Amino acid sequence: MSGDAIIRSADWVLTDEHGAGAPEGIFGVECMTCEARSPLFDNDQQPVAVWAIHHVQEQPEHDLFLARAEKHWRAVRRRHEDEDPPHAPAGTAAGFLDRAFGPTFVGLMCLITALSGYLMALN
């Protein structure tokens, strides 16, 4: 069962998206006194904090910020034949597996192929 389901409806399950290209968090901050906004940074709030310090150093009265941490959610359609685990349809699941494990798997297969070729050459 997927451990990161946020909510399950009759037809859909909402999960945190951890796929390739989905950062754990997108951080940004805006000044509550003026319109200034920091750039957005993936997976790291440190650059945003540095931006806030620079802003208040330039304008010491601008000392209140709205900090944001955003992330991606994905809704997956629920299969009705099994009630418990929220499986994606087969095509989607295969696509996800390919996305999640594809490069490693392909890399491993290349290594094995190269190795077996090497061993063959030795014989």
- Give residues in contact with Zn ion (CB under 5 A): 31, 33-34, 36, 62
CB of 55 to Zn ion, least distance (A): 6
For 13, counting Cβ atoms within 10 Å of its Cβ (0-12 exposed, 13-18 middle, 19+ buried), the class is buried
Cβ distance to Zn ion smaller for residue 14 or 56: 56
CB of 64 to Zn ion, least distance (A): 9
- The answer to whether the CB of 41 falls within 8 A of the CB of 2 is no
The CA radius of gyration of the chain, in Å to the nearest whole number, is: 23
Cβ distance to Zn ion smaller for residue 26 or 31: 31
